[in-house]
Structure formats: structure tokens, C-alpha cells
Amino acid sequence: MDHLNRHKVSPYLLTRSLLPENQETPIQFINNDTIVNKLFFRRNHFSYPTLSLRNYWLPINGTVSKPIILSMQDILQLPSKTIQVVLECSGNKRSLFEPKVFGEQWEKGAISQGFWRGVPLRNLLELAGIREGAKEIVVEGYDFGERTDQNKEVFTYARSLPITKALHPETIIAYEYNNQPIPFKHGYPLRLIVPQWYAMASIKWIKQISVINSTFSGPFQTIDYVYYPNKESNKDPFPVTTINVNSTIQKPLDMEILNTGKHFIKGVAWTGNGVITKVDISVDGGSNWLNAKIEPPKNFIYGWQSWSYEWTILRKGEYLIMSKATDSYGRRQPAVPLWNKKGYGYNAIDKIKVKVE
């Protein structure tokens, strides 16, 4: 047995930074639809919070008929639902932007997915009663720290959702991931899960929920997670919300050396609205496009779609392989991404190079 274990090799997270901890999923080595806890990407703005879990309570206050404070026991007794959701950091693939942009230089692994179980946020808000005039729901985490762009002022990580998104039946307050309590590093004991939106909205370590009758203006909403498409100024900004249609080639690896013969090109595709309907592959740098085979869709519409293409290579040389996904709203990956100052939402056609010897 020891002899066998010595030869068993498992992938690791790819470290971008340690303080705060930011690590990528080794997406090129993932071959199933559920990412185990230890390989789920980690994205933090600050150090991990210190929580006293023995007396954890969740307040819901603000523009409500009856402010309430719920215990974990209260929440666990409410009707729950389980949804498979892909969470993608809005900075995923940031390192691919040209010209380069500042920020965590994520490659292709700031994305993971699995099964989240929890209580619809709307059910909790109904217990408190949303009053007329309410505009947004603010969810605040326990993580906090200084911001260099705000004279080192201390902020907690907090963001808001418009009422319609907060009341969507599958926006949930989750307490389990893959049938286990959410791991501490991913938001234990409670994490907001917002399907279809980039993961900055899925707030970890929830401290409180507030209903407001104004527009939330915290820095993680009005400074960060905003597209600034103008290189010279901050003109025409707009918020980062829905995930762009996207795909990633997992196999072969970029710059891999292959033999002639039969190879499978494999990958995943995903989108924020609708479902993936088509993935096209090119093995000649975009001159010709071929239909990849899409795995039969699952019942869960918020996950990624696995795809593959059987490629027979007869000639030696260098090949540029590309993947381009299309969703049910007709959105497709562009040749060039929308460049923006903070490097969000990269979704250009994916590319890798291989050499055949």
C-alpha cells in the first residue's frame, strides 16, 4: 500500500498571494463537475476574520417591519434548497489582458463550482417584512481591513443587491458545501450565494443583512467591481454583475508537446444568463471552426458545461488551439475582451499552443 501511495499525485492550489490568501484552482487538472473543498479557489481582500461561533447570530434590520435576530438553529430549521453554482472571481484571467492591468494576476483558475445548500434569502427577508420604499439589500461580512486608496481607513467587506436579485428564489444564504458545513475559508458558518453573478457578490462570513431605501456606496461597490473602460479617465463606469459567456481549454496543456495520432481537446464553458448551447474549436488559429461535443446538460443551470473534441493529428508542427462558447441568449466570446482599468470580466476566445513531434 505504501508503495502505491508514493505514486499517487494530486493537484494543489496555485498561490497568488498569502496575506491575504489568494489561490487558484488547478483548473487544467479538474475532470469532474464538483470541486473538492481543498481545491476551491480562495479570494480574500483581508486576513481571515476571527469568529466566536458558539454565539453566532444573524441580524436582519433596516427598512423592515420587524427587525429580527436569527440563530443558526433558526436558520437550519427553515426549508432549504440545494443548487449547483459556478463561482467565478471577476478578476479571473486578468493576467491575459493587453495592455496589462494592476491587481492580482489571476490566470485561468479563479473559478470553481459545487453544491451549495441553504435558505433562500427572500424567506429570511419575509420574516422581517420588507417595507415600502426599500431599494437594496446590503450584506456585510465579518472580514475587514485597511484600504490603501482610502487613507488606510478600515472597512468591512460589504455589498448590496437590488431587491429583484435579492428576492430571486435561488439567491440563498448557504450553510453547506457538497453536503458538509461550509469550510471556514469559504465563509463558514453562512455565505451568500448569488447565482449568475461574479463571485464578489457571494459574501462570506455573513455578519448582518440590512434593507436600505437608498443606493449603497461602500468601496467594494463604487470603487472596486466597477468596469472603467476608458484608458485615460474614469468616464463611463458601470458595475460588474452578470458573468460573461466564457470557456477554458483544460487539455491539452498550454505549450505541451504531443505525438501525432488521436488526442482529446477538453474543457469547460459557462455563462451568467441562460445556458451554453454551443462550443466551437479551432486547431488552426481561427481559420476554421469545428463543433465540440457538449456533455448532456444536467438539471442544474448555474454550473459549467463540459465539452470535448476528438482531434486526430497527422502532421508535425505547432498548433494554436482556440475555444469559443455561445449561450442561449446568443452571446459569444469575443476575439478581443472589453479592456477595463481594473481587469474584470475577461472572456475572450481561449487559446493555447501545442507542438506536435
Q: What pLDDT sits at residue 193?
A: 98
Question: What radius of gyration do the chain's Cα atoms show?
Answer: 22
Task: Give the closest residue to 27 by CA, choosing from 250, 244, 199.
Answer: 250
Q: Are residues 201 and 292 in the same domain?
A: no
pLDDT category at 55 given cuts 50, 70, 90 is confident
Is 62 found in the same domain as 110?
yes
Nearest 5°: CA angle at 99, between 94 and 102?
50
Specify if 231 maps to a domain.
no
Nearest to 112 by CA among 214, 181, 25: 25
In a domain, 229, yes or no: no
Q: How far apart are CA 312 and CA 322, in angstroms?
A: 16
| Same-domain status, 253 and 220 | no
Q: What is the structure's pLDDT at 7?
A: 63
**Average pLDDT in the 8-12 region?**
88
pLDDT of residue 41: 98
pLDDT computed for residue 29 by the predictor: 95
Residue 239 is assigned to a structural domain of this protein: no
Question: Are residue 198 and residue 325 in the same domain, yes or no?
Answer: no
* 149 and 99 housed in the same domain: yes
Residues paired with 172 in a beta bridge? 120, 193
pLDDT, tens digit, 9 for 90 and up, residues 138-185: 999 999 999 988 888 999 999 999 999 999 999 999 999 999 999 999
What percentage of the chain reaches a pLDDT higher than 90? 91
pLDDT band at 54 (very low <50, low <70, confident <90, very high): confident
CA 254 – CA 130 distance, rounded (Å):
51
Kindly state whether residue 320 falls inside one of the protein's structural domains: yes
| DSSP bridge pairs for 82 | 117
The single-letter code of the amino acid at 300 is F
Mean pLDDT of the chain: 95
Domain end call among 224, 259, 277: 224
Same domain, 29 and 133: yes
For residue 41, with 0-12 CB atoms within 10 Å meaning exposed, 13-18 middle and 19 or more buried, which class applies? buried
Q: Mind giving me the DSSP string for 291-311?
A: EPEEPPP-S-TBS-EEEEEEE
Query: Are residues 323 and 214 part of one domain?
Result: no
**What single-letter DSSP state applies at residue 21?**
T
- Residue 151 covered by a domain: yes
Judge whether residue 275 has pLDDT over 70.
yes
Condensed to tens digits (0 to 9), the pLDDT of residues 60-73 reads 999 999 999 999 99
Q: How many CA atoms, within 13 angstroms, populate the side-chain half-sphere of residue 154?
A: 5
Confidence band, pLDDT 50/70/90 cuts, at residue 1 = very low
Q: Which helix (H) or strand (E) holds 157?
A: strand 153-162
Give yes or no for a cis peptide into 79 (omega within 30° of 0): no
Asked if 53 and 117 sit in the same domain, the reply is: yes
On the 0-12 / 13-18 / 19+ scale of CB atoms within 10 A, 191 is buried
**Average pLDDT of span 93-112:** 97
For residue 239, is pLDDT > 60?
A: yes
**Domain membership flag for residue 168:** yes
On whether both 258 and 203 belong to a single domain, the answer is: no
- What's the DSSP call for residue 152? T
190 has pLDDT over 50: yes
Residues 157, 27, single domain; the answer is: yes
Q: Residue 55's CB: how many other CB atoms inside 10 A?
A: 7
pLDDT of res. 2: 47
Query: Do residues 72 and 203 share a domain?
Result: yes
Task: Check pLDDT > 80 for residue 4.
Answer: no
At 3, the amino acid letter reads: H
Tell me the CATH number at 100: 3.90.420.10
The CA distances from residue 251 to 102, 110, 152, 164, 322, in Å, are 29, 17, 43, 39, 12
**144 CB contacts (<8 Å, ≥6 apart)?**
46, 49, 154, 155, 156, 157
The number of helices, as runs of H, and strands, as runs of E, in the chain is 5, 23
Whether 232 is covered by a domain: the verdict is no
- Tell me phi and psi for residue 209, to 5 degrees: -125, 130
* Domain coverage including residue 311: 246-356
The CATH number linked to 339 is: 2.60.40.650
Q: How many domains would you assign to the chain?
A: 2
pLDDT (tens digit per residue) in 326-342: 999 999 999 999 999 99
Please report, as a single letter, which amino acid is at residue 199. Answer: A
All 3 cell numbers of residue 273?
444568463
DSSP 230: -
**Residue 57 included in any domain:** yes
Q: Can the peptide bond before residue 189 be classed as cis, meaning omega within 30 degrees of 0? A: yes
- DSSP conformational letter for 338: -
Model pTM?
0.96
Residue 129: Cβ-neighbour burial (10 angstroms; 0-12, 13-18, 19+):
middle
Cell 486526430 belongs to residue: 312
Do residue 212 and residue 253 come from a single domain?
no
